[in-house]
A and B are shown apart, each in its own frame.
Chain A
Amino acid sequence: MSGGPGIEVALAGSLGGFRLDARFVAPAKGITALFGPSGCGKTSVLRCIAGLQRLDGTCRVAGETWQDGRVFLPPHRRAVGYVFQEASLFPHMSVRGNLLYSSRGRVLPAAPGRIGFDEAVDLLGLGRLMERATHNLSGGERQRVAVGRALLSQPRLLLMDEPLSALDRQTRDEILPFLERLHDTLEIPAVYVTHDISEVERLADHLVLMRSGRVEAAGPLGDIQADTALPLARQRDAAVSLEAVVAGYDGRYGLVRLEVEGGSFLVPSPTGHPEGTRARLRIGAGEVSLAREAPRSTSILNLVPARIRSARPIDDREMILVLGLGAEGGGATLLARVTRMSWDHLGLEPGMAVVAQVKSAALSLR
């Protein structure tokens, strides 16, 4: 993560009777997810950053002050790209007209620090759509055009307001790979509003948790996911997202070997991925079980040495454990959900060396 100035937001005030107090900083690169239940004020925060709505406070992006006590730049003077929940394409223009609106119809080539037209078209797969009218595009195509249009306004910050929530499951799965590619290539920071944790797990690097108008916690994704004091780690579908590198592929069984810090995992994959590519591996807390020593015969392929860092009861039946991979426990962080019965029977305690068992079939690589 680069050390340059990132995003600094401190906004407070009342919007239609709703009290909002949002303060957080986000790094200058990568995607920051604003995550929380509907109606917690995420969208309002995003609109304030864009200048579409006004609250008292400060907003600084990439070393530029967009708002403070004296300054309030109107939206068109902020170098922002905004993707709305509904694509909101201009109905009186073609796809090309929409994409080129911010450059007044000119096609700009790629240049350092600038997103070129061909590059954006390529990244989002818009080539075939170019001369189409916007009203006969599918929902997914519309949203891709909207993302391209926002990128081509040469923003220094990309804002996305639940860009997938108006789409059906299938369309969402069809767009997510585009957003993942965007995540890998994007040079500018992005703030991504969502109430869907699976989008956070796949796209975010940094996470801001919001609840009823306030920021509950903010930090790198992994830290927040594994903080058992926060509600996220205590939920049934709690999980961690691990940054992994592809270390090999067994074509006979269709299994990829993924290297993470302190261990490696076998994950089924129909296609196989070239060695050395980066991938993101999601491991749910419910998919991890523990053993004191490695069992001799088991169907579970992933038996990774780890150490228990901490444990916390969720209720009177279950516990949530934070594990560090590797014999010394200094590697990547994993969450494991175990019953209190197992905890007692195995005599587990913080600091203890264990074997984390993860069924390969429960994992998937996208």
Chain B
Amino acid sequence: MAVRLTVQLAAMTTAILLVVGTPVAWWLARSKAWYKEAVAAVVALPLVLPPTVLGFYLLIALGPSGPGGALASLWGARTLAFTFEGLVIGSVVYSLPFVVQPIRNAFEAMGERPLEVASTLRASPWRAFWTVAVPLARPGFLTGAVLGFAHTVGEFGVVLMIGGNIPGETKVLSVAIYDFVETLRWREANIVAAGMVVFAFAVILAMALIEKRMRRVGK
């Protein structure tokens, strides 16, 4: 059950991150605004902050007196904290830099030229984005998606702060391991932990291989 919940959380988070992160990455790659780097720093905060700090603020934001509580009241709930929805929101914030950064890099590496070419061939900015920028930045999207997914699977501190340990609702794998250890069920903890090691190894290896292949096809 914890496995299914974890995969569900990571998949949803990754999907939302691609939708939210792409325009952010696009703006960061192409804007000339002076406050651009400040925005980039805010996006990158979760890289540096202790998960407990992030989790604390998210707990307040999602709780009954925060915006999350107001949102939850729309469907009659009191709070988003300690719910699956709350976990998704928390994961999105926490994993944002892991998705935005590779996509931004890919957009920047592509340069201005392909878009200029597209515009002189009558492509509107919208069409140029979908037919030129996105296909050329594909390796960045792939890296971002894999990193976002893997990172969500591995998060612990934030989940514990805002989700607690509710089976079927917020009890994901990383929390489950903690739980097993607390209750001295070493065998189960060992199985889950070893599974996570294999998963992490597979992700990193797959990413390296895919990137290598794309680089060969790319140029």
Contacts and interface: CB of A to CB of B under 8 A. Distances in A.
A54 to B, nearest CB: 13
Nearest to A47: B116
Nearest to B120: A82
A91 B117 contact: no
A82 B117 contact: yes
Contacts of B187: none
A300 B116 CA distance: 53
Contacts of B123: 76, 101-102
A49 B30 CA distance: 23
Interface in B174-219: 218-219
A153 interface: yes
A76 B123 CA distance: 6
A124 interface: no
A301 interface: no
Nearest to B132: A90
Given A88-B114, A90-B114, A135-B219, A81 B136 contact: no
B67 interface: no
Interface string B92-119: 0000000000000000000001101111
Contact of A92 (B113, B120, B125, B135): B135
Given A91-B219, A102-B121, A149-B121, A75 B116 contact: yes
A149 B122 CA distance: 12
A96 B120 CA distance: 18
Contacts of B132: 90
Given A91-B219, A92-B135, A81 B120 contact: yes
Contact of B117 (A51, A84, A92): A84
Given A92-B135, A135-B219, A153 B119 contact: no
B124 interface: yes
A50 interface: yes
Contact of B120 (A86, A90, A91, A153): A153
A88 B135 CA distance: 15
B112 to A, nearest CB: 9
B87 to A, nearest CB: 37
Interface string A60-104: 000000000000001110001110101010111000000001100
A108 interface: no
Contacts of B131: 101
Nearest to B216: A135
Contacts, number: 54
A59 interface: no
A90 B117 contact: yes
Interface string B34-45: 000000000000
A81 B117 CA distance: 9
Interface in A129-165: 135, 149-150, 153
Contacts of A341: none
From DSSP, what is the main secondary structure of chain A's interface residues?
Answer: loop
A362 interface: no
A149 B131 CA distance: 16
Contacts of B136: 90-92
A149 B116 CA distance: 14
A144 to B, nearest CB: 16
Contacts of A102: 121-123
A71 to B, nearest CB: 17
A74 B119 contact: yes
B117 A88 contact: yes
Nearest to B121: A102
A96 to B, nearest CB: 14
Max count, chain B CB within 10 A of own CB: residue among A75, A135, A149? A75
A75 B120 contact: yes
A52 interface: yes
Contacts of A135: 219
B38 to A, nearest CB: 25
Given A88-B113, A91-B136, A101 B118 contact: yes
B113 A76 contact: no
A52 B114 CA distance: 12
A88 B115 CA distance: 10
A153 B120 CA distance: 8
Contacts of B119: 51-52, 74-76
A46 to B, nearest CB: 11
B167 to A, nearest CB: 46
Given A52-B120, A76-B120, A101-B121, 9 more contacts: A50-B120, A75-B116, A76-B122, A76-B125, A82-B120, A101-B118, A101-B123, A135-B219, A153-B122
**What 5 A-B pairs come out closest when comparing CB atoms?**
A82-B120, A75-B119, A102-B121, A92-B135, A76-B119
